[in-house]
């Protein structure tokens, strides 16, 4: 005998799908343009691309900056760096944080308490401050930036995984797996982690968005990506001096790029969360 | 005379410490021989499920001993206990919760088939044979748990337990989440399998009808204590403890109207 | 006619997989002051029938035909405002999982008093006193202290007593009890059932007891109706339906219930 599904037919599926597909498509376009765009545009480091500080025109859609470099070309190539750094840092945080948190939550006891304390001590610092401190100490190389962003996010993933795991720990199917003689490691890997993937995806989008902002922020204050490498945050910084004199295109276009990317990522996260936990 | 299949010696399970601790199982002793069905009856909070988990080594007892097939097992590490997992298996109350929602039923059963230590090549045929043994179409094996009805899923969880080829099954409220017609089917299946597979059961239930239909021996638990134990006819027919009488009276209320003339 | 009369109720539910004919012509009658047990397995439509009587059919449901007459007035035709008045003062309900049916953030006594104020216009002070009296009448010890507690401080059996107090606060003519004892311990079940009988009889109301538990229905109901697949397959005096069922489904349901195989042979392990 089948139980009746009394949900109104057109309430859940289509709306949720639309909410995730639109921002995902937007993000895909941004990623594709950053990836392929540079092959079709002028060299972003070419200081002779156009008349310095000339505004948007047919030849230079986003205008030219104070060094004579094409802004469109720089915005596009900066997308490569920003997305790559954000994705790799978030991926490292996820890959390290989720299993650690899942293990802590599943084992409980001293392991749980110990790992939780370590995570808390990281979270006690304001993240931006921590990132600034580490970059200043170790130098502002790209790997260092990735490492910093990853490290400050690991505790987030740990806590997320831990709180998702605790109800799963007592789930009958996990008890059944124990009855099948599976080891703790096997249970966490095969039963627990896949069942918390949904929350992890949501958090991943949030982290990426956050990482892009932090990266831009660090570059903006001059300890992130250095000139002449194109990066959205440093481009905004380069442009601020000229805002007051009316050359708005230097800062506005990279700013828009950050806005759209972060917006898409956050919308993906919101939709993934709305889709709910493990079905 | 062979060793008893399962023995509990003064099992105690205490949660928390000091004055605020709660005793879930309070000094339980019993011996279970092959072929018996020990029915453990009790209300919520009686400690019967905790006892079941201790027997399955899912929870460690605070004190006391568990002997399985002549060896003491309560102190063994998980790794050392692994060979015994073949001997003792479990069926849980909520069939929907007992399967990983992301795995096909077949894959969940394969996980238990590994315990046999047999080559994987024969697993598919064995698992299909198990599905037929619990009177199901093997085609169901390739579905996800959410696509199978509760009654079918409970049969599959019995098949999964049998995949380890156990001697002893701990059945924790195996029919409580099911409709009465499905409950009857599962009871019949469990009784038939006991004969076919020479199984021994520890049957934990609050459902007196299921206990009456299946148990050869009945124990009554209250507040962690084993208040009465004996052959099923004796405990259900002539209960000695006032609590057992009260439980039976509550279960029998209204039943006289439903089965006048039907024998006990 | 007074009491509850359901005539040829047909309800369709729109689901993702298309329309489902959930009720296919339900006929039921509960004369004033009597108990009717509506028994069946999950998915048989018994809870949906209760929702129709409460005027609380799910959004996806459409009534294709039939009438639900409570003391002569058709609930299916009532406006929202009329429904609000009917629920509480003429028909009230208790459900499975009583702790969840009480508002977790409001003291139990206040929840009962609120109903008394709304439906009977009693002043605040008197409503509070009456709420405590009602809890006492439901056999709750220390009612004054208990009235000040929150639902999570109640055990399942006690919460069902409080839910019953709230349901009976405005002297409804009909009480719908949807699996009121499911999930409670057997000894508590017996107490709660006895309380329902006692209090409802004292109030002269009638009861629609929805349950999968034949023994519970047998204990308290004069009449029993058996639902299967959206239709009532058999109804009549309890003893007659349960001991001499005419419908084959009723017979198989009873056989399952007493765990008998092949008609009359009880399942035996030995």
Closest alpha carbon within chain A to C43: A3
Q: Which residues of B touch A183 (CB under 8 A)?
A: 78-79
Which residue in the block uniquely carries the two structure tokens 């605070």? B62
Ranges of each domain in chain B:
35-60+70-87+166-255, 101-164
Binding-site residues on chain A for chain B (CB distance < 8 A) = 1-2, 171-173, 175-184, 191, 194-195, 278-279
CA distances from C190 to A16, B246, C184, C244 (A): 46, 10, 9, 25
**CA B77 and chain centroid, separation:** 23
Band the pLDDT of A12: cuts 50, 70, 90. Answer: very low
Band the pLDDT of A1: cuts 50, 70, 90. Answer: very low
pLDDT digits 0-9 by tens, B151-177:
999 999 999 999 999 999 999 999 988
Closest alpha carbon within chain C to A6: C15
Closest alpha carbon within chain A to C40: A1
Give A75's contacts (C-beta < 8 A, 6+ positions apart): A62, A230, A232, A235, A253, A254, A257
The nearest CA of chain B is from the CA of A172 a distance in Å of 5
Closest alpha carbon within chain A to C58: A6
Closest alpha carbon within chain C to B193: C269
Beta-carbon pairs below 8 A across chains A and C: 32
Closest alpha carbon within chain C to A14: C16
Domains annotated for chain A, with CATH where assigned, are: 37-275 (1.10.3720.10)
The nearest CA of chain A is from the CA of B217 a distance in Å of 25
How many structural domains compose chain C?
A: 1
Residue C112 lies in a domain: yes
CB-CB neighbours of C124 under 10 Å? 11
pTM reported for the whole predicted model? 0.78
For residue B154, give the nearest of B98, B205, B211 by alpha carbon: B98
Residue C234 lies in a domain: no
Contact A182, A176 (CB under 8 A): no
Binding-site residues on chain B for chain A (CB distance < 8 A) = 53, 56, 58, 78-79, 81-82, 85, 89-90, 92-94, 97-102, 108, 111-112, 114-115, 146, 149, 157, 160-161, 164, 179
Which CATH superfamily, name and number, covers B35-60+70-87+166-255?
P-loop containing nucleotide triphosphate hydrolases (3.40.50.300)
| Beta-sheet pairing, B22-32 with B6-15 | antiparallel
Residue C123 lies in a domain: yes
**CA A73 and chain centroid, separation:** 23
Which residue in the block uniquely carries the two structure tokens 């069942």? A195
Neighbouring chains to C with at least 3 Cβ pairs closer than 8 Å: A, B
Q: Which residues of B touch A278 (CB under 8 A)?
A: 101-102
* H or E, element range at C175: strand C174-178
For residue C90, give the nearest of C77, C103, C72 by alpha carbon: C72
pLDDT digits 0-9 by tens, C20-31:
899 999 999 999
Residue C245 lies in a domain: no
Least confident of A61-65, B252-256, C72-76, C184-188: B252-256
Residue C33 lies in a domain: no
Residue A11 has pLDDT above 70, yes or no: no
pLDDT digits 0-9 by tens, C202-253:
988 999 999 999 999 999 999 999 999 999 999 999 999 998 999 999 999 9
Neighbouring chains to B with at least 3 Cβ pairs closer than 8 Å: A, C
pLDDT of residue B72: 95
CB contact under 8 A, C60 and A1: no
DSSP three-state, residue B94? coil
CB contact under 8 A, C269 and B215: yes
Please identify among residues 3-32 of chain A the ones whose CB lies closer than 8 Å to any CB of chain C. 3-9, 13
Band the pLDDT of A8: cuts 50, 70, 90. Answer: very low
Q: Which residues of C touch B209 (CB under 8 A)?
A: 257-259
Give C34's contacts (C-beta < 8 A, 6+ positions apart): C3, C206, C207, C222, C223
Please identify among residues 132-161 of chain A the ones whose CB lies closer than 8 Å to any CB of chain C. none
CB contact under 8 A, A172 and B112: no
For residue C138, give the nearest of C180, C179, C90, C86 by alpha carbon: C180
Q: What is the ipTM of this complex?
A: 0.87
CB contact under 8 A, A6 and C17: no
Please, which residues bridge with residue A170 across strands?
none
pLDDT digits 0-9 by tens, C69-125:
998 889 999 888 888 888 878 899 999 888 888 899 999 999 999 988 988 888 999
For residue C152, give the nearest of C185, C192, C189, C103 by alpha carbon: C103
Enclosing domain of residue C132: 101-171
CA distances from C161 to A66, C33, C267 (A): 79, 20, 36
pLDDT of residue A275: 62
Contact A181, B82 (CB under 8 A): yes
């Amino acid at each position: 005998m089948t139980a009746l599904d009394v949900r109104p037919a057109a309430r859940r599926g289509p709306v949720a799908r639309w909410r995730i597909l639109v921002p995902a498509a937007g993000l895909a376009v941004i990623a594709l343009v950053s990836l392929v765009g540079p092959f079709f545009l002028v060299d972003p480091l070419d200081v002779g691309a156009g008349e310095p500080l000339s505004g948007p025109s047919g030849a230079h859609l986003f205008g030219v900056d104070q060094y004579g470099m094409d802004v469109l070309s720089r915005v596009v190539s900066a997308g490569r760096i920003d997305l790559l750094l954000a994705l790799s840092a978030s991926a490292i945080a996820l890959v390290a944080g989720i299993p650690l948190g899942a293990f802590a939550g599943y084992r409980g006891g001293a392991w749980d308490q110990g790992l939780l304390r370590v995570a808390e001590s990281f979270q006690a610092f304001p993240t931006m401050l921590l990132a600034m401190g580490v970059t200043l100490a170790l130098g502002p190389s790209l790997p260092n930036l990735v490492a910093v962003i990853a490290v400050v996010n690991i505790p987030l993933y740990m806590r997320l995984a831990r709180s998702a795991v605790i109800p799963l720990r007592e789930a009958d199917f996990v008890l059944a797996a124990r009855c099948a003689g599976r080891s703790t490691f096997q249970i966490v890997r095969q039963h627990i982690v896949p069942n918390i993937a949904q929350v992890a995806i949501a958090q991943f989008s949030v982290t990426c968005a956050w990482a892009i902002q932090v990266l831009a922020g660090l570059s903006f204050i001059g300890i992130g990506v250095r000139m002449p490498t194109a990066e959205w945050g440093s481009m905004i910084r380069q442009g601020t001096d000229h805002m007051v004199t009316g050359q708005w295109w230097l800062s506005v276009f990279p700013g828009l790029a950050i806005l759209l990317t972060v917006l898409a990522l956050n919308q993906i996260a919101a939709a993934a969360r709305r889709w709910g936990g493990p079905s | 005379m062979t060793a008893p299949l399962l023995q509990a010696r003064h099992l105690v399970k205490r949660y928390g410490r000091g004055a605020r601790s709660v005793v879930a199982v309070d000094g339980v002793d019993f011996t279970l021989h092959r072929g018996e069905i020990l029915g453990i009856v009790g209300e919520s909070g009686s400690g019967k499920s905790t006892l079941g988990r201790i027997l399955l080594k899912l929870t460690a007892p605070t004190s006391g001993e568990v002997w399985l097939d002549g060896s003491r097992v309560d102190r063994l590490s998980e790794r050392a206990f692994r060979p015994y997992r073949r001997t003792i298996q479990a069926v849980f109350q909520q069939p929907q919760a007992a399967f990983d929602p992301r795995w096909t039923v077949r894959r969940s059963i394969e996980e238990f088939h590994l315990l046999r230590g047999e080559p994987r090549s024969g697993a598919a045929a064995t698992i299909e044979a198990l599905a037929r043994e619990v009177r199901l179409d093997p085609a169901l094996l390739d579905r996800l748990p959410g696509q199978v009805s509760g009654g079918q899923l409970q049969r599959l969880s019995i098949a999964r337990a049998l995949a380890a080829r156990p001697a002893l099954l701990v059945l924790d409220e195996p029919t409580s989440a099911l409709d009465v017609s499905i409950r009857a089917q599962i009871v019949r299946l469990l009784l038939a399998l006991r004969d076919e597979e020479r199984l021994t059961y520890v049957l934990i239930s609050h459902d007196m009808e299921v206990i009456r239909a299946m148990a050869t021996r009945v124990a009554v638990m209250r507040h962690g204590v084993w208040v009465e134990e004996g052959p099923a006819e004796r405990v259900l027919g002539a209960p000695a403890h006032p609590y057992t009488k009260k439980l039976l009276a509550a279960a029998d209320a209204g039943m006289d109207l439903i089965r006048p003339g039907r024998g006990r | 006619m007074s009491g509850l009369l359901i005539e040829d109720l047909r309800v369709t539910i729109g689901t993702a997989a298309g329309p489902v004919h959930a009720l296919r012509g339900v006929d039921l009658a509960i004369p004033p002051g009597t108990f009717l047990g509506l028994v069946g397995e999950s998915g048989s439509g018994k809870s949906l029938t209760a929702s129709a009587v409460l005027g609380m059919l799910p959004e996806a449901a459409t009534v294709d035909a039939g009438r639900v007459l409570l003391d002569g007035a058709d609930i299916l035709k009532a406006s929202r405002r009329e429904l609000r008045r009917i629920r509480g003062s003429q028909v009230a309900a208790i459900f499975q999982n009583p702790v969840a049916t009480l508002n977790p953030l409001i003291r139990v006594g206040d929840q009962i008093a609120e109903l008394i104020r709304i439906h009977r216009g009693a002043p605040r002070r008197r409503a509070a006193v009456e709420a405590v009296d009602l809890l006492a009448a439901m056999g709750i010890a220390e009612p004054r202290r208990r009235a000040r507690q929150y639902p999570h401080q109640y055990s399942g059996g006690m919460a069902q007593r409080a839910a019953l107090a709230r349901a009976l606060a405005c002297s409804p003519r009909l009480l719908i009890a949807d699996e009121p004892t499911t999930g409670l311990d057997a000894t508590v079940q017996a107490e709660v059932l006895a309380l329902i009988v006692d209090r409802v009889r004292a109030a002269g109301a009638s009861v629609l007891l929805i349950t999968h538990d034949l023994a519970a229905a047998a204990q308290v109901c004069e009449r029993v109706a058996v639902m299967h697949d959206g239709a009532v397959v058999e109804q009549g005096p309890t003893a007659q339906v349960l001991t001499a069922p005419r419908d084959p489904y009723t017979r198989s349901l009873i056989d399952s219930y007493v765990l008998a195989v092949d008609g009359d042979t009880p399942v035996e392990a030995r």
